[in-house]
């Protein structure tokens, strides 16, 4: 399936396949290579409650898929806020995309040297300013 450059507008596939009926981003071995650059699991601080550690443990498999999707979105968008990445991915993924997911994965990707936070900011959907990110 081929997609047009999404820019800042709504995204439509260039063929007749409905993007809500299929997953846009399927990662096989690339996910394992990505995960090799990252910690084994999402982080929780030592001072966080047990529920935070349980939540981090539950994301061991899902976090790699989310990181790969965030990187793919940045490849299309070139630079974007976490809010914009979440919006872009939410437009494509059949199962939806939680609004705060990119904001949790971007610092992990930054620590792995795969993205960088820019000094440039842009307004989010709420009107607040947020830093832009770009893939390296």
The predicted structure's pLDDT at residue 35: 52
Which of 45, 61, 25, 42 has its CA nearest to residue 108? Answer: 42
At 78, which CATH number? 1.10.10.10
Q: What is the pLDDT of residues 65-87, one digit of tens each?
A: 888 899 999 999 999 999 999 99
Residue range of the domain that includes 97: 27-41+48-135
In a domain, 80, yes or no: yes
Residue 76 vs residue 39, higher pLDDT = 76
pTM (2 d.p.): 0.67
Residue 12 vs residue 54, higher pLDDT = 54
Name the domain count of the chain.
Answer: 1
């Amino acid at each position: 399936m081929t997609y047009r450059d999404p820019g800042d507008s709504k995204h439509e596939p260039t063929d007749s396949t409905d993007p809500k009926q299929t997953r846009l981003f399927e990662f096989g071995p690339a996910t394992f290579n990505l995960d090799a650059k990252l910690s084994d699991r999402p982080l929780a601080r030592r001072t966080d409650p047990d529920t935070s550690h349980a939540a981090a443990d539950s994301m061991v498999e899902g976090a790699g898929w989310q990181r790969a999707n965030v990187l793919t979105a940045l490849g299309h968008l070139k630079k974007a806020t976490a809010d914009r990445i979440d919006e872009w991915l939410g437009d494509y993924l059949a199962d939806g995309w939680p609004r705060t997911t990119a904001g949790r994965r971007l610092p992990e990707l930054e620590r792995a040297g795969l993205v960088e936070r820019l000094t440039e900011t842009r307004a989010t959907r709420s009107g607040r300013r947020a830093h832009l990110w770009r893939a390296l």
